[in-house]
Amino acid sequence: MRYDEREILCVDMDAFFVSVEQASDPSLKGRPIAVVGSGERSVVVTSSYEARARGVKTGMSRKDAQKVCPGVILIPGRVRKYAAVSAGIAEFLQSVSPESAMFSIDEAFLDITGTGFSSDNAAYMIKSRIKQNFGITCTVGAGPNRLIAKMATHVNKPDGYYRVSGKDALSFMDSFRLSDIWGIGRSSVRKFASMGIFRASDMRLFGERRLEEMMGLPGRNIYRLVSGESESGIPKDREEMKSFSHSMTFPKDISSRSEACAYLLQLSEMVSSRARRNSYYGRAVTLTVRRPDMSTLNFSHTLSFKTSATHHIYDCAVKLYDGNGVVKEPVRLLGVSLSGLGHRGIASSSVEDMITGGAVKNRLYRAIDAINMKFGERTIGYASVMKCERKGHRIISPSWRPDGSRNLDMENGS
């Protein structure tokens, strides 16, 4: 099997949020700490390696983290700080190679082919400069394509480096279980485990043709992954978004419909403004509801037209809220999502818009977006949202990026 003669690096920050906090306060180094949200009901976002060794996991409640690790230090996250450090790292990596891109808030890929750097020299220079400039460590993987480079970061983490040559790529992939291979989802792993397929080598023995017959194009893509094949270069165009979504955990459970509707309007505008800003339109609206017992329900509706308008998304979310008995029980979290996306198309209109003058609302949205882009998000908005105790983007997603449709103007809290 042949691999492109390219040198691709994956730079993966070690426990990124925690490392940024430790760089700001060196007394935290070597101690069990967990970054959490600012509210009492928030969960662990990430934790130090010392805390992980004692059982602290992402998604744990504060109480559970303190139960498994007495003495764990809980630190409210500072999302703007993390975003600023990520943007600074992205700018530095561009100076190493113009063929570089952040793929999440704590991970980047670089193509150093033709830069004059060897993988070894570039990796150790990057590690040194990031530690010197930002006070944090990273792990670097190198290989002939993005998949191999990404998998190589798993070998010597944290603060390590590992390179895989093209001739060793296949045997390297065979050292991993399917569950550890980037790009193979949990449902696929469970499905193949029931068939006695656990490793990359098992999958190749099963055969590409049989996989394609069983799964179609996804089967062919999985075969490529277990064979260590992926795109080599760093794509300039971001991948198409599959959905825009926002959710919010409330300071206290809410029970009244009016309070829920205020949050649904806020969430719908957050989703809508991002879609409008990036020229996306969607047809499917999903409402997510989480109860106090942490049970989560999702309700969806597909519109007959594509839209990025706040009033369409909000109206649909409210109908889903009213039509599924949500109002009868307390709610801990609400989320709104727009999917079934099309990019840079022309939004169609509902019949109601045609009658009531949807063009006027579109001009209003353009005006709101222009003001908020110039003076900051939420400079202008809906009066009913003012009653919400929690406002704005306070939790940063791991998929956040310094630019593009995954960029958000973060609030100071978490």
Name the residues annotated as catalytic.
Answer: 107
**The three-state (H, E, C) secondary structure of the chain, written as one string:** CCCCCCCEEEEEECCHHHHHHHHHCHHHCCCCEEEECCCCCCEEEEECHHHHHCCCCCCCEHHHHHHHCCCCEEEECCHHHHHHHHHHHHHHHHHHCCCEEEEECCEEEEECCCCCCCHHHHHHHHHHHHHHHHCCCEEEEEECCHHHHHHHCCCCCCCCEEECCHHHHHHHHCCCEHHHCCCCCHHHHHHHHCCCCCEHHHHHHHCHHHHHHHHCHHHHHHHHHHCCCCCCCCCCCCCCCCEEEEEEEEEEEECCHHHHHHHHHHHHHHHHHHHHHCCEEEEEEEEEEECCCCCEEEEEEEEEEEECCHHHHHHHHHHHHHHCCHHHCCEEEEEEEEECCEECCCCCCCHHHHHHCHHHHHHHHHHHHHHHHHHCCCCCCCHHHHHCCCCCCCCCCCCCCCCHHHCCCCCCCC
Measured CA to CA, the distance from residue 295 to residue 263 in angstroms comes to 19
Cβ–Cβ contacts within 10 Å for residue 137, how many? 19
Sequence-ordered list of residues with C-beta below 8 angstroms from that of 298, at least 6 positions apart, any chain: 286, 287, 288, 289
